[in-house]
Amino acid sequence: MSLDRVREHPAPLAAARRRRLRADQALQLADLLRRQVLAGGFDRDGGVLPHEDTLRAAYRVSRNTVRQALDLLRAEQLVERQPGLGTIVVARKYSHGLDRLQGLAETLREHGRVTNEVRTVGPVPAPACVADRLRLAGGDGAQVLYVERLRRLNGLPLSLDLTYIPMDIGIELLGADLENNDVFRLLEEITGCRLGTAQITLEAVNADAHSAAVLQAPRSAAVLMVERLTHLSDGRPVDLEFIHFRGDRISMSGVLHRAA
């Protein structure tokens, strides 16, 4: 837009800038409030957030900004408005640590009980990308054990895990109790070797029809997809997983150290 056009329409441009600023402030406030919700910061008040006027004064923003921020948290189903009570916390995300290599039950044990519904288990020909990542002899078409599990935390669907394991190890898992055990622990028992390291990739994706149905989430809802390739302590890759977490029920956290 030319400077002449800008001078001709100063009021609409100023209004647009104000709306953008308010939206930016609402996002910032939502981030701060979300952190407190997830950390249990409002538990001592019975899970009730401060009144809108209190938030407005504390964060030095407008009433509209406060309402927009609360609308964002409502859309995430973290809070809801209840007449006579105000804005209350209705859900919390479970913190999944990234500091240690652990199975889901180990990671979330302080939050409750993880159960596994084994939906599929059996040998399949390895797709080329799986064979490459697991360094399988014979490459594309080599047999791997494929396991699909729905993981629940306290009865609520949390993740859909798709796992590929080399068949020389996977054959031992066919008779194992996959419903009540983490695969990590079983791998260490079978191989007699500790797990060592894992390469991990996190990204947000839209739930496909299958994932949405299994996780009881709206189709195309945001899902946190974790790709993890786990190695034994001797360096052999033994477990390739694609884990689809419900984004409204999990958060990832860890401690990062700056390299010298």
Model pLDDT for residues 45-96, shown as the tens digit of each residue: 678 999 999 999 999 999 999 999 999 888 877 888 888 888 988 877 777 8
CATH code for the part of the protein at 3-89: 1.10.10.10
Alpha carbon distance 211, 161 (integer Å): 10
How far CA 192 is from CA of 81, 137, 195, 234, in Å, comes to 53, 22, 10, 11
Return the percentage of the chain with pLDDT > 70, whole number.
Answer: 91
Domain with CATH 3.40.1410.10 in the chain: 94-253
CATH code for the part of the protein at 94-253: 3.40.1410.10
Domain with CATH 1.10.10.10 in the chain: 3-89
pLDDT of residue 43 exceeding 90? no
Of 68-82, 143-157, 229-243, the least confident = 68-82
Question: What pLDDT is recorded for position 1?
Answer: 46
Residue 131 — pLDDT band, cuts 50, 70, 90? Answer: very high
Reduced DSSP (H G I as helix, E B as strand, rest coil) percent helix, strand, coil of the chain, to 5: 35, 30, 30
Question: What pLDDT is recorded for position 154?
Answer: 86
Residue 10 — pLDDT band, cuts 50, 70, 90? Answer: low
